[in-house]
Chains A and B, each alone.
Chain A
């Protein structure tokens, strides 16, 4: 059974600082997704990583995928308050696609 683990689960950081969220998964997959969820809201797709070594960047967020290490990272550069949210990674474990398994989520709070 595929397990997806995020680290840390809670992150409080100051504006302007950098930090990395880690997503480890237990079985072979080369398809990984990052989502953002604001309190009481739905999940918003952030990044789609579909191959080993894939790197995507959007604003202050950068995501990467290392399929050999079964690890993805979400790096935050110069954090701002608007980035406060819960971030989920999800791994596709199906050969034919589908069946996303989500991590526990990382609750990020960026303090002024």
Chain B
């Protein structure tokens, strides 16, 4: 069965450093991968989408990479701030279907 794993349940880093979150998947061939931010008790907020034929995408302090050979995406937040503290979810999708399949998330805490 398909499986999506995010590197760790929790990640603590110092303010100003780069946070790197990992999303690995097996038994799945996604057409695209998305990263969402989720704050406690709130809905996921879309951050970035990367398609299978793209290696890297950037948006302000965010960068995502997608390696379909390794079946892995890396999500980077540079110059991290305490306001970046949240749970980050990766979600995979296919063009033939509309549903997103989510990972369990990584809870990021940026320490001042």
Q: Do A and B come from one complex?
A: no
